[in-house]
Structures are given as structure tokens and as C-alpha cells.
């Protein structure tokens, strides 16, 4: 079923749509930022260029601290309804909400127009090559006009007020559907009536995101990892780099211009699969880093992983060793994504 259609629900339930259609197995927190100063507020917390987003366009961004560390990764969408729609990790919800609420109060105390509203919706992730075909049967809108990282509010299989965003953490085409919680099971059931759709669990989602070279917060990035170290420099807006007006900018921009000590890299090997916390060694046998995520790749029939090594060992093709079950085996630094992504863009 790998890379078919699957579905994951953010309710404790999960749905996805892949090799036909596939979904995410853990929940996400959803928030609205409202008011005339909503963009300024969000840009005071994240590294991305939120002001440049077109109506209903979203971007992956990062909350950072003053040391340049990543507090969480999130998606920010500038909606045509006049608010920012924010989706962040449920595992970081308490600190993310406190971070945003504190900044809202700070802005309000200086007379600026901004407020925050928690969205009590469930989130269903329908992922996979035929995800759009499956969903099209239940919506009036033409999904061919909804490219990657854009969204729209629509009725889905009879459930009104759903926000459908063309994204997902699998590397495949797909949709994340923000649905009123009271209707989540009804919508999930309607999607599962299509034989293309299968429920997907954590293992499927984890192997998919790893094949796509996507980070898992808490494993591959954390508050001691900068965007540059994490190979996420592309999330830094060009205007923001020049203005240096985001948390940790002095550290992060200096790393962009100079040399960073370590970098996140992809690794491939045969034999036993590499797992998180496996030591990475140079060919002389000296420990130089650690694996942060790893698993067998169902698509490639090889073992893939990512981890951190000193910059001088980060070039693709560099031979290394990884210790698995107290035995050393040969690994090679590899480009990511390991499996070509299949995001839908307008031709």
C-alpha cells in the first residue's frame, strides 16, 4: 500500500490517501491570527516572509529562539478571509500557544490590532497519487486549480466550512482537510467508502516523510538546532535575511554567510537498518555524529536515515560508518529527498 491512497485523522483517529490515497497519524494544532497587524505579529516569531504570501497561499516556516534554535515547524496560510491560518505540531502545542499569546498581548499593549483564536477543528490528511481524484468526487470546486501549498474553504462530502489545503507530510500529492470536530468521523467515513482509501498509521507516515527527506520535530530538529544546521535555509525569506528582524537572526544569518559546524544529511546503507541515536563514525572509526531518524525504505528496498555530521563530512557521496547493534557498517551521505517528491503544481 506504500505510496497509494491513505488517510489520517487528527482526532486520535487518522486518515490518509497514498499509492492511491494516505493520511497522517498524529494531531496538529490549528490557530487563527486576526487583525491588521497579524502579519507583523507572525513575522516577529517566524523566519518566513509572510507578507509576500498571496491570498490562500501557505508556507512552511519555523518558530525560532534568540539563539537561533528551532522551537517548532509550522504552516502559515494567508487566507482570503482576512486572517492567518496556522497549523503547528500538537506535541508543541502548549509552548506554541503560549508563545503566540504572549506576543499578542505584547502587541495589544502597544495599541496594535491583533488577536488569536484557537480553531477547535479536526484535521484529516488524505495523501497519495490519487488523493485529488478521491476528494474531487465530494467537492464542487475544481481541485486542478488548487496547487501545492494553497487552500480554500469548501463543502466536502456534505460537510460545510472545511478548509482544504493541498499539502501533507509524505512527499506525495494530497490534501489536509480542516473539518469541524463534530463532523470529522462522518467525513472520515465518507472518504473510507472509496476502496482506494486506506487508514495509515505512524509507521507508514514516518517512512513516507523520511523517504521525502522531511524533518520530524523533536527528532531531526529541536531548540538546539538552527535552520542552517538543519538544512532548512530555504525557509528563510530573502527580505527577512536582509532585515534580520526575526528571533535568532544574528546567529542564523552569520551561519548563512560563514561556515556552520554541523549539518543534517541523508544516509543510505545496506544491512541492518539505521535507527535514531545510532552513532555515525568516519572511516577511521571516530564518532562524528548521530542518526536522528532511520528506517528501511519500502520504495528503494534500502535503508535510509538522516543525522548530523560535521560540515566537512556533509558532501553527497562521502563514505562513513554507522554503528548498528554494536557492529559498524558502511553508509554513504546521500542527497535528499531519497524518493522524488510528487507535489502538484500548476503546469
Please give the annotated binding residues for substrate, written as ranges.
176
Grid cell, residue 102, equals 504572549
Give CA 261 to chain center in angstroms.
24
* 225 vs 144: CA distance, rounded Å: 37
CB 268 within 8 A of CB 322: no
* 347 vs 50: CA distance, rounded Å: 24
Q: Single out the residue of 75, 150, 144, 90 nearest to residue 121, CA to CA.
A: 90
CB 5 within 8 A of CB 22: yes
For the chain, count helices (H), then strands (E): 7, 19
**Residue list for the binding site:** 176
The conformational region for residue 90 under phi > 0 = left, psi -120 to 50 = alpha, else beta, is alpha
Amino acid at each position: 500500500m506504500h505510496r497509494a491512497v491513505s488517510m489520517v485523522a487528527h482526532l486520535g483517529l487518522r486518515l490518509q490517501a497514498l499509492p492511491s490515497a494516505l493520511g497522517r497519524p498524529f494531531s496538529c494544532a490549528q490557530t487563527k491570527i486576526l487583525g491588521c497587524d497579524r502579519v507583523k505579529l507572525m513575522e516577529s516569531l517566524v523566519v518566513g516572509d509572510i507578507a509576500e504570501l498571496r491570498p490562500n497561499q501557505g508556507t512552511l516556516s519555523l518558530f525560532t529562539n534568540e539563539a537561533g534554535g528551532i522551537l517548532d515547524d509550522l504552516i502559515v496560510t494567508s487566507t482570503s478571509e482576512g486572517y492567518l491560518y496556522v497549523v503547528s505540531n500538537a506535541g508543541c502545542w502548549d509552548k506554541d500557544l503560549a508563545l503566540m499569546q504572549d506576543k499578542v498581548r505584547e502587541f495589544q499593549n502597544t495599541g496594535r490590532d491583533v488577536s488569536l483564536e484557537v480553531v477547535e477543528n479536526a484535521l484529516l490528511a488524505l495523501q497519495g497519487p490519487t488523493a485529488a481524484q478521491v476528494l474531487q468526487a465530494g467537492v464542487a470546486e475544481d481541485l486542478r486549480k488548487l496547487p501545492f501549498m494553497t487552500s480554500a474553504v469548501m463543502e466536502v462530502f456534505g460537510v460545510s466550512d472545511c478548509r482544504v489545503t493541498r499539502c501533507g507530510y509524505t512527499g506525495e500529492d494530497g490534501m489536509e482537510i480542516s473539518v469541524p470536530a463534530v463532523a470529522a468521523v462522518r467525513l472520515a467515513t465518507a472518504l473510507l467508502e472509496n476502496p482506494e482509501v486506506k487508514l495509515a498509521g505512524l509507521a507508514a507516515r514516518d517512512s513516507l516523510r523520511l523517504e521525502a527527506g522531511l524533518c520530524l520535530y523533536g527528532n531531526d530538529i529541536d531548540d538546539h538546532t538552527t535552520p542552517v544546521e538543519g538544512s532548512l535555509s530555504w525557509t528563510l525569506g530573502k527580505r527577512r535575511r536582509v532585515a534580520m528582524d526575526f528571533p535568532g537572526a544574528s546567529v542564523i544569518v552569520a551561519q548563512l554567510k560563514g561556515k556552520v559546524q554541523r549539518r543534517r544529511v541523508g544516509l543510505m546503507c545496506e544491512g541492518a537498518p539505521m535507527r535514531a541515536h545510532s552513532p555515525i563514525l568516519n572511516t577511521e572509526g571516530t564518532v562524528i555524529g548521530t542518526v536522528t531518524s532511520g528506517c528501511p525504505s519500502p520504495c528503494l528496498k534500502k535503508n535510509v536515515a538522516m543525522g548530523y555530521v560535521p560540515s566537512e563530512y556533509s558532501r553527497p557521496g562521502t563514505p562513513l560508518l554507522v554503528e548498528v547493534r554494536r557492529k559498524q557498517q558502511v553508509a554513504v551521505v546521500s542527497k535528499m529527498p531519497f524518493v522524488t517528491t510528487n507535489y502538484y503544481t500548476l503546469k
